[in-house]
Amino acid sequence: MTLVAILSLLIMIFLLILFFVIWFWINLSNKSPYYPSIVKKIQSLVDDKEISISANTKFVDLGSGDGRVVFYFAKLNILQADGIEINPFLSLLSRFLKTVLRLKNVKIYNKDFLKHDLGCYNLVYMFLIDNQIDKLLEKIKQEKKNSEVIVISNTFQSSKFLPYKKVDTFYFYKI
Ligand SMILES: C[S@@+](CC[C@H](N)C(=O)[O-])C[C@H]1O[C@@H](n2cnc3c(N)ncnc32)[C@H](O)[C@@H]1O
């Protein structure tokens, strides 16, 4: 092995370790670490008309991970499908996938969802643990415009708001 090859290998190992250190640091400092939804389960909800979609639907996934749920809804030809993700690697990945999939109605924001105005959305999805749900439901209630907002929380439920239905692992709220 030449010196250049050894150096390249060492640099690659260093970058790989750096990536994992940053990844774990971001996830540990997050209240809700990354764990993807099973899109087939969401698709069943839409197929069974548990979630109603129209051309005017403005959807957002709060903590959108790699964007899989956002892309699923965007492909249903709704007006807008947004994702808000605090992890810069996941935001970058989902922006890349958005470009590859050529989805025009998608926007991915790399930010804290608590700093994003949620007033324009009428369909909200989240897969987040503990008290983040209550904070977000309060925020949606304050920021929403006149129309009703449907919020779907995967697995975790609010301790303040009552769901109007539960299907599979999904809690549905009307705000
Ligand atoms: C359990 S994962 C769900 C990912 C995606 N929604 C899905 O269902 O496949 C939760 C995501 O929320 C993100 N997250 C946690 N706190 C956040 C915050 N304050 N602002 C934006 N994203 C956040 C995490 O980085 C993680 O990617």
The bridge status of strand 123-126 relative to strand 150-154 is parallel
Atom of ligand 1 nearest to the CA of 114: 19
- Please say if the pLDDT value at position 109 is more than 90: yes
Domain ranges of the chain: 1-30, 39-174
pLDDT digits (tens, 9 = 90+) for 33-75: 889 999 999 999 999 999 999 999 999 999 999 999 999 999 9
Give percent of the chain above pLDDT 70.
96
Give me ligand 1 centre to Cα 90, in Å: 9
- Residue 113 Cβ inside 6 Å of ligand 1? The answer reads yes
Mean pLDDT computed over every residue of the chain: 93
- Please say if the pLDDT value at position 5 is more than 70: yes
- Residue 112 Cβ inside 6 Å of ligand 1? The answer reads yes
In this prediction, residue 129 carries a pLDDT of: 81
| Domain range 39-174, CATH architecture | 3-Layer(aba) Sandwich (3.40)
- Please say if the pLDDT value at position 171 is more than 90: yes
Nearest residue (by CA) to ligand 1, atom 23, is 63
pLDDT digits (tens, 9 = 90+) for 13-29: 999 998 888 777 776 66
In this prediction, residue 31 carries a pLDDT of: 67
Nearest residue (by CA) to ligand 1, atom 18, is 112
- Please say if the pLDDT value at position 136 is more than 80: yes
| pTM score of the predicted model | 0.89
Residue 65, phi-psi category: left (phi > 0), alpha (psi -120 to 50), beta (remainder)? left
The bridge status of strand 80-84 relative to strand 165-167 is unpaired
Give, in order, the Cα–Cα distances in Å from 31 to each of 106, 108, 109, 128, 140: 25, 20, 18, 8, 19
Give me ligand 1 centre to Cα 66, in Å: 9
pLDDT digits (tens, 9 = 90+) for 143-164: 998 789 999 999 999 999 999 9
